[in-house]
């Protein structure tokens, strides 16, 4: 698989876990989007303050540069809004997205279960769902049930990505 992929969804959906599993299974480079948040953004999220579009602007531009001209990258990025996804698509034409769909209750439970080791506060889960513009129906988007076992998610994602690649 040569086309780059974004594993997306709200906090707690399993982006990092699936991204790592996909990168391993497809022999692709993993780029963990959270690693590129500014210190100020991390502090805001840890304090339970939702990021604004302005807070995300430089972060999304950085992620777009990571994708630009690269092939075979698995990027984990919430990509909550259509314009965020379109910006990433502009950086990497033909980009594929794997949307991990999850309920607010399951997301909250997962985020709360992380404890204080993660910078993202469980108080922000509601704001993630409020900001989410569902990508269902957009070209190049695969939607999966985030509550499935990781191995099953990876297998489904790989199979669907190959199917999309073969149609291109």
Per-residue pLDDT for 60 more than 60?
yes
Q: What is the pLDDT of residue 69?
A: 78
Q: What is the pLDDT of residue 42?
A: 83
More confident residue, 113 or 50: 50
Residue 80's nearest CA partner among 111, 102, 113, 47 is: 102
Instruction: Name the 3-class secondary structure at 27.
Output: coil
Rounded to an integer, what distance in angstroms lies between the CA atom of residue 71 and that of residue 125? 32
Q: What is the pLDDT of residue 115?
A: 58
> What residue ranges do the domains of the chain occupy?
5-167
Place of tokens 């790989």: 158
Q: Does domain 5-167 have CATH number 3.40.50.300?
A: yes
Q: What is the pLDDT of residue 165?
A: 84
Q: What is the pLDDT of residue 64?
A: 95
Whole-number percent of the chain with pLDDT over 90 = 64
Rounded to an integer, what distance in angstroms lies between the CA atom of residue 75 and that of residue 98? 10
Torsion of CA 126, 130, 133, 136, to 10 degrees: 50
Q: Could you tell me if 102 and 12 are in contact, meaning their C-beta atoms sit under 8 angstroms apart?
A: yes
Whole-number percent of the chain with pLDDT over 70 = 92
pTM value is 0.90
The partner residues of 111 in beta bridges, in order of sequence, read none
Q: Helices (DSSP H) in the chain: which residue ranges?
A: 15-26, 39-46, 53-67, 82-91, 104-113, 125-131, 150-167
Q: What is the pLDDT of residue 127?
A: 85
Q: Is 151 exposed, middle or buried (0-12, 13-18, 19+ CB in 10 A)?
A: exposed
Rounded to an integer, what distance in angstroms lies between the CA atom of residue 99 and that of residue 163? 16
Average pLDDT, the chain: 89
pLDDT digits (tens, 9 = 90+) for 109-164: 877 766 555 555 666 788 889 999 999 999 999 999 999 999 999 999 999 999 98
């Amino acid at each position: 698989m040569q086309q780059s992929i974004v594993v997306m969804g709200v906090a707690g959906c399993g982006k990092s876990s699936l991204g790592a599993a996909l990168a391993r299974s497809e022999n692709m480079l993993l780029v963990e989007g959270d690693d590129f948040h500014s210190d100020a953004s991390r502090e805001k999220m840890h304090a339970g303050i939702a990021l604004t579009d302005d807070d995300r602007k430089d972060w999304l531009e950085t992620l777009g540069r990571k994708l630009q001209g690269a092939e075979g990258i698995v990027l984990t990025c919430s990509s909550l809004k259509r314009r965020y996804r379109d910006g990433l698509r502009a950086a990497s034409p033909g980009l594929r997205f794997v949307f991990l769909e999850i309920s607010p209750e399951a997301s909250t439970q997962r985020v709360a279960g992380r404890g204080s080791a993660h910078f993202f506060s469980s108080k922000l889960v509601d704001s993630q769902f409020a900001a989410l513009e569902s990508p269902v129906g957009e070209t190049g988007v695969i939607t999966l049930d985030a509550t499935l076992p990781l191995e099953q998610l990876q297998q489904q994602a790989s199979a669907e990505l190959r199917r999309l690649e073969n149609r291109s």
